[in-house]
Chain A
Amino acid sequence: MKIEKMKNGISCFSLDNGLDVVVIEDHRAPVITHMLWYKVGAADEVSGKSGIAHFLEHLMFKGTAKLAPGEHSKIIAKNGGQDNAFTGQDYTCYYERLAADRLELAMELEADRMTGLTLSDEVLLPERDVVREERKQRTDNKPDAIHFEQMTAALFLAHPYGVPIIGWDHEIAELNRHDALAFYKKHYAPDNATLVVAGDVTPEQVQKLAQKHYGPIAAQNIEPRQRVIEPPHMCPRQVDMFDERVEQPQWIKQYLVPSARVANAEKTNQSEALQLAILLLAGGSTSHLYVDLVVEKQAAVAAGGWYNSVAMDYAPLGLYAIPREPYGLAHMAELVDASVQTFIKDGPSDRAFDRAKNLMVAESLYARDNQTSMARMIGAGLSCNMSLEDILDWPERIEAIDKDEMLATLDKYIDENASVTGQLMGREEHLTGTLDDSEAGAE
């Protein structure tokens, strides 16, 4: 129960029932953000029940022994607050934003629904229709979202990250009250959760209130998550989609890469090296890939990449390019691969390398201006089993990266056999372009 003070006004403690608590002090405005993170997400669903983690998140607003369906949000709104929730592969988070003097209300309500959920088919069935409409809105109505879902499914041979968070429609359609309550009882408990409170409050105040509201809830001795490990990836995969709705073709390639949690647990800086590498290679208009394809060769309208390192197990590294006429999708693979290889071989200039590091470190300072994004960053990291030290020491870990080490790490993970390439197009011309091949001799 001792409060441990970390840097930047951040402190942490644990309750006896296993609930971990982090407090991020920010006294600039009389406002707090209360976030309760459960260490369970879509990747923890049993096979055939995809979407249950996210469906349960919706159902958590449907009442408890004490509160009628929808009453939770209505009470928060009446108190001038905002509340919502979101589900990821590794976590489910419920949050309230309120005036600082209403922190206790958020705790009282959130503690109540940690164990008190009640469900009837009367509220569950219309909500299942809502989720199916949500899937249509987010995915089925958008060819690029369908394509990306198919690509991600192809990237993972065994690991559940290949299944979409919202679930497959035919499985959502069959989810029932029993499934929801079973998932709830198995995973929702103080010893499987992290409370993050940010804003105009002291850790001592948070501790007192957390003890009062969360303290009485018994631990459930939840076992640590066991996830499957991907088998060796032995060949590149290609996922091409024709959809006549597509007017703007796009090319994407994803590589299987470890998350920051995995790399940090192995006591390496490989994840930070990849974060720096992707910024230099494909982050914004001074990046190597953008300058090469968009500015110099003028073969692409846009080009870039991503590596969202915060995950329990894997964090795909992605690259994309949107061809510029007369180039087509078929030219992108060759041009992007060549550009990546040149980057690995020649590396960035020392000046560009330092610039990228400074930029990333400055971002961590800017992030401190926003209590909600701080709470989100820390809550997500902890829910993926990262340590608070590793999360807070991120700027120092970035500073410590050596250029050759960075390039060697990137080279290691740009492994064709562990990649999926995707082409999204509406007609044949999007693939081939209108370039006369005799003049395509860029190489």
Chain B
Amino acid sequence: MDIKQLSLSQKDAADLDIWLVEDHRLPIINIEFAFIGGASLDGDKHGLAYLMAALLDEGAGDLDDQEFHKALDETATHLHFSATRDIINGSIKMLKKHKERAADLLNMAMFAPTFAEDASERVKAQIVASIRSASTSPTEIAAKRMMKLAFGDHVYGNLVKGSEETLNTINRADLQKTTLQNFNAAHPYLVIVGDVNETEAEQLVMRIFAGRKLGSDNVDAIAEAEFAGIGKSETHHMDVPQAVVNFALPSIAQNDPDFMTVLVLNHILGGGGFSSRLMEEIREKRGLTYGIHTSLMPLKHGSLITGSAATSADKMDETIKILRQEIAKMHEGGVTDEELKNAKTYLTGAYPLRFDTGAKIAHQLLSMQYFNFGIDFIDQRNNLVNKVTKQDVARMAASLLDVKNMAQVTVGPTETD
């Protein structure tokens, strides 16, 4: 894949580094971007960044909320913002013939959002409705409690969507402040994929970022997160047909030299679907659950290996017993040569599947930028996976998979029912 690196200077703002992949086979353009900040800048007003992201297309510049949505529809532009614990993430998909108008709309959304009272109240009510729906879902409760257990009082333990109470404390000034802080962040990440050449890409970016100011590097504002969940477990009683368990262990950062080893380890433990040990032991051999999965959550200031499963209340004890046994077994004995070989052929062979659409290419490249990998990472990545040895995996399993450290949350009917 031919990735071009462009750098643009902007008056009174930091340089913009852009990765561009030209693809002229369809007249469409995908742009994905991210700014360090997100919910970690919320302070006590949990849910601020999430609300801000939801309001950016509800009126901006000289357009009110309805006019803005109509302008997007008229040009068939898909614009989406989201807030996570570390970043504000945005993506825009546009038709080549409407690219200037689409760029202007994006510019207005980021640098001149209105935050009108009625739109803010409406979107707050929508977020509150989704919080209320989630408040009775065992899956949602388990996931929410796990973040609190794992990160304690660190901002990562807070609720990204906030709560009814915190949302009600948010006013227009808060929204404006966090918008400026996020979108003027010193180092935005930006990828363009599609039917544009270099000159057109540069013009488009200048249009999108017109009026940007020199902001700070928000990354320094957040402390490193210690894993606060060492050996902790919680049980929440809930009268539902099926109980849910979530578990977490501390992990390492995405740009740590051992990350590929942990990627392989997670694949064999519970990340690899039907080829994982947990799926084999808990679903395939015993039929205890529809699915048990683990995944890596590499946050900027603290990373986790997390997992979850759902099963009938009377099967939960057995499920947890086997889950803990399997983690302990890998902690002690690592993995076999065959497991390692199969994990490598899967992870390396499946890598191209992440690049078969414009939107997926943009997303993958943005993630590489974000974790400070170079543009040659795409060519090196499979070599890095292939270099992982059985000893590496055993070493990381010994270091990370100590069940005594595991945090665990169960939600569902308790034994006394």
Q: Give the interface of A toward B (CB within 8 A).
A: 26, 28-31, 61, 69-70, 73-74, 77-82, 97-99, 125-131, 133-134, 136-137, 140-144, 199, 245-248, 284-286, 291, 294-295, 298, 301-302, 322, 324, 355-356, 358-359, 362-363, 365-366, 368-372
Instruction: Establish whether residues B284 and A70, one from each chain, have CB atoms under 8 Å apart when the complex forms.
Output: yes
With contacts A31-B356, A77-B273 known, what are 4 further pairs, Cβ within 8 A? A77-B342, A248-B130, A301-B128, A355-B70
Shortest Cβ distance from A169 into B: residue:
B241
Report the minimal beta-carbon distance from B27 to chain A, rounded to whole angstroms: 7
Instruction: Establish whether residues B66 and A286, one from each chain, have CB atoms under 8 Å apart when the complex forms.
Output: yes
Instruction: Establish whether residues A126 and B287, one from each chain, have CB atoms under 8 Å apart when the complex forms.
Output: yes
Instruction: Establish whether residues B66 and A295, one from each chain, have CB atoms under 8 Å apart when the complex forms.
Output: yes
Instruction: Establish whether residues B126 and A134, one from each chain, have CB atoms under 8 Å apart when the complex forms.
Output: no
Alpha-carbon distance A199/B290, docked complex (angstroms): 31
B85 contacts the other chain (Cβ, under 8 Å)? Answer: no
Alpha-carbon distance A294/B58, docked complex (angstroms): 13
Alpha-carbon distance A81/B289, docked complex (angstroms): 24
Instruction: Establish whether residues A141 and B350, one from each chain, have CB atoms under 8 Å apart when the complex forms.
Output: no
Instruction: Establish whether residues A365 and B73, one from each chain, have CB atoms under 8 Å apart when the complex forms.
Output: no
The 27 listed contacts between A and B (C-beta, < 8 Å) are A29-B355, A29-B356, A30-B352, A31-B353, A74-B274, A78-B346, A125-B287, A126-B284, A127-B287, A129-B288, A130-B287, A133-B310, A136-B242, A136-B310, A137-B290, A141-B139, A245-B239, A286-B70, A301-B125, A301-B129, A302-B126, A355-B70, A362-B76, A366-B28, A366-B78, A366-B93, A372-B356
Known contacts A359-B73, A366-B28, A370-B357; A133 and B311 CB within 8 A of each other? yes
Alpha-carbon distance A98/B351, docked complex (angstroms): 10
Instruction: Establish whether residues A130 and B289, one from each chain, have CB atoms under 8 Å apart when the complex forms.
Output: yes
Known contacts A126-B284, A133-B288, A141-B138; A80 and B350 CB within 8 A of each other? yes
Residues in A whose Cβ lies below 8 Å from that of B336: none
Shortest Cβ distance from A298 into B: residue:
B122
Instruction: Establish whether residues A362 and B287, one from each chain, have CB atoms under 8 Å apart when the complex forms.
Output: no
Q: Which 8 A-B pairs have the closest CB atoms?
A: A80-B349, A126-B287, A362-B76, A129-B287, A134-B290, A136-B242, A248-B132, A247-B132
Alpha-carbon distance A125/B285, docked complex (angstroms): 10
Report the minimal beta-carbon distance from B386 to chain A, rounded to whole angstroms: 12
Residues in A whose Cβ lies below 8 Å from that of B130: 248
Known contacts A245-B240, A302-B129, A362-B76; A77 and B275 CB within 8 A of each other? yes
Report the minimal beta-carbon distance from A200 to chain B, rounded to whole angstroms: 9
B204 contacts the other chain (Cβ, under 8 Å)? Answer: no
Instruction: Establish whether residues B125 and A324, one from each chain, have CB atoms under 8 Å apart when the complex forms.
Output: yes
Could you say which of A29, A127, A355 has the most chain B C-beta atoms within 10 Å of its C-beta? A29
B345 contacts the other chain (Cβ, under 8 Å)? Answer: yes
Instruction: Establish whether residues A81 and B69, one from each chain, have CB atoms under 8 Å apart when the complex forms.
Output: no
Restricting to B152-209, which residues have a CB under 8 Å from any CB of A? none
Alpha-carbon distance A370/B28, docked complex (angstroms): 12
B272 contacts the other chain (Cβ, under 8 Å)? Answer: yes
Instruction: Establish whether residues B274 and A31, one from each chain, have CB atoms under 8 Å apart when the complex forms.
Output: no
Report the minimal beta-carbon distance from B406 to chain A, rounded to whole angstroms: 23
Report the minimal beta-carbon distance from B198 to chain A, rounded to whole angstroms: 20
Report the minimal beta-carbon distance from A186 to chain B, rounded to whole angstroms: 26
Report the minimal beta-carbon distance from A257 to chain B, rounded to whole angstroms: 24
Residues in A whose Cβ lies below 8 Å from that of B278: none
Shortest Cβ distance from B348 into A: residue:
A80
Known contacts A70-B284, A359-B76; A371 and B356 CB within 8 A of each other? yes
Restricting to B65-106, which residues have a CB under 8 Å from any CB of A? 65-66, 69-70, 73-74, 76, 78, 93, 95
Instruction: Establish whether residues A77 and B138, one from each chain, have CB atoms under 8 Å apart when the complex forms.
Output: no
Q: How many residues in B have their beta carbons less than 8 Å from beta carbons of A?
A: 65
Residues in A whose Cβ lies below 8 Å from that of B349: 79-81, 98-99
Shortest Cβ distance from A246 into B: residue:
B136
Instruction: Establish whether residues B66 and A73, one from each chain, have CB atoms under 8 Å apart when the complex forms.
Output: no
B334 contacts the other chain (Cβ, under 8 Å)? Answer: no
Residues in B whose Cβ lies below 8 Å from that of A129: 287-288
Known contacts A245-B136, A286-B69, A365-B28; A78 and B125 CB within 8 A of each other? no
Alpha-carbon distance A193/B291, docked complex (angstroms): 29
Alpha-carbon distance A26/B360, docked complex (angstroms): 15
Alpha-carbon distance A245/B138, docked complex (angstroms): 10
Alpha-carbon distance A362/B346, docked complex (angstroms): 36
Residues in B whose Cβ lies below 8 Å from that of A358: 74, 76
Instruction: Establish whether residues B66 and A82, one from each chain, have CB atoms under 8 Å apart when the complex forms.
Output: no
Residues in B whose Cβ lies below 8 Å from that of A128: 287
Alpha-carbon distance A98/B346, docked complex (angstroms): 10
Shortest Cβ distance from A322 into B: residue:
B129
Binary contact track B235-256/A, C-beta < 8 Å → 1, others 0 = 0000111100000000000000
B321 contacts the other chain (Cβ, under 8 Å)? Answer: no
Report the minimal beta-carbon distance from A252 to chain B, rounded to whole angstroms: 14
B133 contacts the other chain (Cβ, under 8 Å)? Answer: yes
Instruction: Establish whether residues B274 and A142, one from each chain, have CB atoms under 8 Å apart when the complex forms.
Output: no
B53 contacts the other chain (Cβ, under 8 Å)? Answer: no
Shortest Cβ distance from B130 into A: residue:
A248
Residues in B whose Cβ lies below 8 Å from that of A295: 65-66, 118, 122
Alpha-carbon distance A284/B129, docked complex (angstroms): 17
Instruction: Establish whether residues A371 and B272, one from each chain, have CB atoms under 8 Å apart when the complex forms.
Output: no
Instruction: Establish whether residues A369 and B357, one from each chain, have CB atoms under 8 Å apart when the complex forms.
Output: yes
Report the minimal beta-carbon distance from A28 to chain B, rounded to whole angstroms: 6
Instruction: Establish whether residues A97 and B353, one from each chain, have CB atoms under 8 Å apart when the complex forms.
Output: yes
Partner of A369, one of B122, B285, B358: B358
Alpha-carbon distance A98/B25, docked complex (angstroms): 22
Partner of B350, one of A82, A126, A291: A82
Instruction: Establish whether residues B350 and A81, one from each chain, have CB atoms under 8 Å apart when the complex forms.
Output: yes
Residues in B whose Cβ lies below 8 Å from that of A362: 76, 95
Alpha-carbon distance A295/B68, docked complex (angstroms): 14
Known contacts A130-B283, A247-B135, A302-B129; A31 and B288 CB within 8 A of each other? no
Alpha-carbon distance A99/B350, docked complex (angstroms): 8
Report the minimal beta-carbon distance from B223 to chain A, rounded to whole angstroms: 34
Instruction: Establish whether residues B76 and A363, one from each chain, have CB atoms under 8 Å apart when the complex forms.
Output: yes
Instruction: Establish whether residues B136 and A80, one from each chain, have CB atoms under 8 Å apart when the complex forms.
Output: no
Residues in A whose Cβ lies below 8 Å from that of B414: none
B312 contacts the other chain (Cβ, under 8 Å)? Answer: yes
Binary contact track B338-380/A, C-beta < 8 Å → 1, others 0 = 0000100111111111011111000000000000000000000
Residues in A whose Cβ lies below 8 Å from that of B242: 133, 136-137, 140-141
Shortest Cβ distance from B240 into A: residue:
A141
Residues in B whose Cβ lies below 8 Å from that of A291: 66
Alpha-carbon distance A358/B74, docked complex (angstroms): 7
